[in-house]
Structure 1
Amino acid sequence: MTQTALAVILASTSPARSRILTNALVPFTVSPSAVDEEGELSQLIAKSGKPSSAEEAVFLAGLKAEAVARDAAGAIVIGCDSVFEVDGVSYGKPYTVEETVNRWSIMSGKTGTLHTGQVVIDTANGNRRSARVVSTEVTFTEVSPEEARAYAETGEPLQCAGAFTLDGRGSAFVAGIQGDANAVIGISTAALREQFAELGHMLPLAAL
C-alpha cells in the first residue's frame, strides 16, 4: 500500500461531504456529476425490480462516480449517495416543504436507518473500484407538526435524504444514533480509508 499522489475528486457538491473531507485533512477537488437519479432508478426497477435501500444508495453512488471518472483520467473519484429507510420504505430528498412535513409525520418518534453508499474508482489503474454501504440507525424524538413545518421552512432539510441533518438544525430532533455519525452527515471517512486501502492506496492527508 502506497501513499497516493493521485488527484482525489469528490463527485458531489454536498457542502457537508466537503466539510468532512476538509476537516479530515484529505486534499480533494469537487466535480459534480450530472446523473438523472430518478430516471436511472426507474430504469433499474423496470429491469431488475425494486432494490433495497442499501442497494439503491450504492447504485446511485456508483453512477455518480462513473460519470465523473469518464473525464478524470489519472484521478481517484469518490461518489456518494444517501437513502433513508423507515418502516421498510426508502426515502431520498424531499425537495418541498409539504413533503418534508409529511416525512416528519412518518418519522417522528421512530428509529430509521440511513444508508450511505460510497464508490471509489481508481482511474489510473484500470478503473478499479471499491464499493461500500455504511448503515447507521437514527432515533428521532417526537416532533410536532408545527415544529416540522418550521424546520422545513428553513430550507435546510429539503435537499437531504431523510429530510434531516445531523450537523445542523435537525440535530435537535435526533435522540441518538448507533453507528457512524460522519456517514449520516454524508461520507464515512473510516470506510473511505478502507476503500483506498482495498485499491492499494493510503488515504492522502494534507500537512497542517
Structure 2
Amino acid sequence: MRIVLASTSASRLSVLRSGGVEPVLAAPVGVDEDALLDSLSDASAAEKVAQLARAKAHAVAGKFPGEVVIGGDSMLLIEGQLQGKPHTPEVAIERWKNQRGKTAELLSGHCLIGPEGQEYVETASTTLRFASPSDADIAAYVATGEPLPCAGAFTLEAIGGWFIDNIDGDPSGVIGLSLPVVRRGLYSFGLDVHEFFSPELTRPAT
C-alpha cells in the first residue's frame, strides 16, 4: 500500500519526504477550482478549502484503488477574505503591501481517501503574523518567483521565512500539508504511519 499525493506542489512533496514517506505523485485533472468556489459561496472559509482538497483527492482516487490518496489545498484568510495563489508579480506585490504587519490565518484543507474508499476530511488552521518588509524587499522577493504559486504569496520554509514574524499552529500545515492531520486520517482508517515509511528516507545515518 502506498500514499498517493494528488498534487503537483513541491512543498507538499517535501513535507511528506521530510516525514519519511516517498509518495506516488498524481496531478488532479479536471478540477475547476473557480466553479467549485462559486458553488460554495455560502460555505465557511474552512469548508471551501476542505472541498477543494476533496475534489482533488476524488479526481485521482479512481486510478489508485487500494491505496491512500491525499488531496490538499491552502488559502489565506485575511480581514475576512480568502486569497489563493497570486500567480502574477503585480498581484503578489499588491498583496504583500496589504498584508505586511497584519495577522492572518493559513487554512490547509485535507482529504484522505482510504484503501477501502473511506474518507477523512479536515482543515488545519495556523495563525501567522506577517513582518513589515520594505517595498524594495517585497519587489526583490516577488522577483524570485517564489511567492507566485503559493497561497498567501509566501513560503515559510524558504525565502519567505524572512518576512514571517510568528506562527501559532502546525508549521507543516503552513507549508501545505499537515502531518498531524494526515496521521489522524491514517489512524481513522486503522493504519499506522510507519507502514508508509520509505527505507531510503528513514534508514539510520552511518
Deviation at 1:57, TM superposition (A): 1.1
Deviation at 1:40, TM superposition (A): 2.1
Q: Distance in 1 between matches of 2:42 and 2:154?
A: 24
Unaligned runs of 5+ in 1: 1-5
1:74 counterpart letter in structure 2: G
Tell me, yes or no, if structure 1 residue 10 matches structure 2 residue 9.
Answer: no
**Equivalent residue number for residue 160 of structure 1:** 150
Q: 16-25 vs 142-151, which deviates more?
A: 142-151
1:141 to 131, 135, 139: 131
Give the TM-score, by structure 1 length.
0.91
Tell me, yes or no, if structure 1 residue 101 matches structure 2 residue 93.
Answer: yes
Per-residue deviation, residues 91-112 of structure 1 (Å, max 9, x unmatched): 0000000000111121100110
Q: Distance in 2 between matches of 1:142 and 1:51?
A: 32
Deviation at 1:52, TM superposition (A): 2.4
Tell me, yes or no, if structure 1 residue 40 matches structure 2 residue 36.
Answer: yes
**Equivalent residue number for residue 65 of structure 2:** 73
**Equivalent residue number for residue 177 of structure 1:** 167
1:19 to 3, 14, 19: 14
Q: Distance in 2 between matches of 1:155 and 1:93?
A: 12
**Equivalent residue number for residue 80 of structure 2:** 88
**Equivalent residue number for residue 54 of structure 2:** 62
1:13 counterpart letter in structure 2: T
Q: Distance in 2 between matches of 1:104 and 1:58?
A: 25
**Equivalent residue number for residue 3 of structure 1:** none
Q: Distance in 2 between matches of 1:54 and 1:163?
A: 19
**Equivalent residue number for residue 30 of structure 1:** 25
Q: Distance in 1 between matches of 2:147 and 2:163?
A: 12
1:95/1:159 contact within 8 Å kept: yes
Deviation at 1:75, TM superposition (A): 1.2
Q: Percent identity?
A: 36
Q: Distance in 1 between matches of 2:181 and 2:66?
A: 22
Q: 145-154 vs 99-108, which deviates more?
A: 145-154
Once superposed, which parts of structure 1, at least 4 consecutive aligned residues long, lie more than 6 Å away? none
1:115 counterpart letter in structure 2: L
Q: Distance in 2 between matches of 1:52 and 1:153?
A: 33
Q: Give the total of aligned pairs.
A: 197
2:100 counterpart letter in structure 1: S
Deviation at 1:26, TM superposition (A): 1.6
Q: Distance in 1 between matches of 2:67 and 2:119?
A: 12
1:57/1:117 contact within 8 Å kept: yes
1:206 to 194, 198, 201: 198
Deviation at 1:145, TM superposition (A): 2.4
Q: Distance in 2 between matches of 1:143 and 1:69?
A: 42
